[in-house]
Amino acid sequence: MLNTYKHTGKLTLDSGEHLENVEIAYHTYGKLNSDRSNVVWICHALTANSDVADWWSGMTGKEKCFDPEKHFIVSANILGSCYGTTGPLSEDKNGKKYYRKFPDVTIRDMVKAHILLREHLGIDKIKILTGGSIGSFQALEWAIIEPDIIENLILIAGGAMSTPWTTGLNEAQRMAIRADKTFFDDYDRGGLEGMKAARAMALLSYRNAKAYNKTQPITEEDDYKNLKAITYQQYQGEKLAKRFNAYSYYTITKAFDSHHPGRGRGGLDKALQKIKAKTLIVGIDSDILFPQEDQHLLNKKIPGSELNWISSDFGHDGFLLEFEQLTNIINKFLKS
């Protein structure tokens, strides 16, 4: 069920700016049990939303890994997005949409908003906190901020922090958006052609050469002007443009770049040592966005953490596709 929490007051951002009367869109599935011990909180990735039963249907649902008949499942749309939570298309205090004037937000700011919602829902313990990709960034940050709230932490297809590699990929995408002059016109559909190009760039890092060569093959009969990989890239750009906006895309990729748990905490080691949750790290053996060294670093730095691998030809997107492997890994971890 989709809900909206309207927070009265100010949310102070890492930048020192603040947002007033923040709205947070969220979904819940199942019921909170009598001792409030069955909460599963799922943090979504870049262009996803709070409806995890839709985009993560292989993991969320009756008799699946996260079962609403057993768990009270919560997911909140992140700050800066366009699915109901305050973002660039929201109105400022003067009643005008922010667009490019929306303040910079960080992963920590997103987690601050999650905590506001947690408190509103009366949740004082989270049995399982998880997320993939930028969702794993949120989960990691949350486990540092509130170490006594999180019991089990499951980090999927992510790393300890943004790296020069991921930042470079994100900036290339933002350059594509800035190359679309309509982005500077500040209207709802501004920058969409640039965002289509950005999405096509991003997909290359979400998959890999093996995945593309497998799913978009070339034959001698193909029209070289309309090869499968060409039309696939174009289709994916058009598909995103129908449901997202360039200002949110720009904002969230900058938030991605901001992620460094060690900032202001005496370094990465000290920050990750704050985590008390029983922690599972899941990497994907063919992921080029977050390669294996990223998960090994997490495993080395988080006390008592466990590391496991999904085997997939589909790179980073394996966390959205390899449901059976992921379910088996998580269930084994939770039973251990």
- DSSP letters for 128-165: EEEEETHHHHHHHHHHHH-TTTEEEEEEES--SS--HH
Does residue 181 share a domain with residue 105?
A: no
Does residue 263 share a domain with residue 250?
A: no
pLDDT value of residue 224:
87
Does residue 138 share a domain with residue 234?
A: no
Asked which of 202, 233, 255 is the last residue of a domain, the reply is 255
Does residue 215 share a domain with residue 200?
A: yes
Tokens for 261? 């748990």
Does residue 93 share a domain with residue 7?
A: yes
Residue 37: CATH number of its domain: 3.40.50.1820
Asked which of 225, 255, 285 is the last residue of a domain, the reply is 255
**Residue 21: HSE in the Cβ half-sphere, 13 Å Cα cutoff:** 6
Does residue 31 share a domain with residue 135?
A: yes
Q: What is the pLDDT along the chain (336 residues), one digit of tens a residue?
A: 799 999 999 999 999 999 999 999 999 999 999 999 999 999 999 999 999 999 999 999 999 999 999 999 999 999 999 999 999 999 999 999 999 999 999 999 999 999 999 999 999 999 999 999 999 999 999 999 999 999 999 999 999 999 999 999 999 999 999 999 999 999 999 999 999 999 999 999 999 999 999 999 998 888 888 899 999 999 999 999 999 999 999 999 999 999 999 999 999 999 999 999 999 999 999 999 999 999 999 999 999 999 999 999 999 999 999 999 999 999 999 998
Does residue 299 share a domain with residue 228?
A: no
Tokens for 195? 């965002």
Q: Give CA separation, 85 vs 5, 17, 264, in Å.
A: 9, 17, 27
- Residue 310's SS3 state is strand
Alpha-carbon 261 to chain mean position: 16
Tell me how far apart the alpha carbons of residues 147 and 131 are, in angstroms, rounded to a whole number.
Answer: 17
Task: Count structural domains, the chain.
Answer: 2
pLDDT value of residue 271:
98
Q: Which amino acid is at 272?
A: L
pLDDT value of residue 15:
96
pLDDT value of residue 221:
86
Does residue 248 share a domain with residue 272?
A: no
Asked which of 234, 255, 276 is the last residue of a domain, the reply is 255
Instruction: Give the strand pairing for 23-29 and 39-43.
Output: unpaired
Does residue 92 share a domain with residue 135?
A: yes
The active-site residue out of 81, 133, 205, 258 is 133
Do residues 249 and 195 lie in contact, with contact meaning Cβ atoms separated by under 8 Å? yes
Backbone angles phi, psi at 93, to 5 degrees: -65, -15
Does residue 154 share a domain with residue 237?
A: no
Q: Is position 133 annotated as part of the catalytic site?
A: yes
What element of type H or E holds 179? helix 164-179
Tell me how far apart the alpha carbons of residues 300 and 298 are, in angstroms, rounded to a whole number.
Answer: 5
The active-site residue out of 257, 287, 294, 317 is 287
What element of type H or E holds 205? helix 192-206
**Widest CA span of the chain, in angstroms?**
64
pLDDT value of residue 131:
98
Does residue 11 share a domain with residue 47?
A: yes
Q: Which amino acid is at 302?
A: I
Residue 191: CATH number of its domain: 1.10.1740.110
Tell me how far apart the alpha carbons of residues 136 and 143 are, in angstroms, rounded to a whole number.
Answer: 11
The active-site residue out of 90, 305, 316, 317 is 316
The predicted model scores a pTM of 0.97
Does residue 234 share a domain with residue 275?
A: no
Q: Is position 7 annotated as part of the catalytic site?
A: no
Look up the domain containing 250 and give its range. 166-255
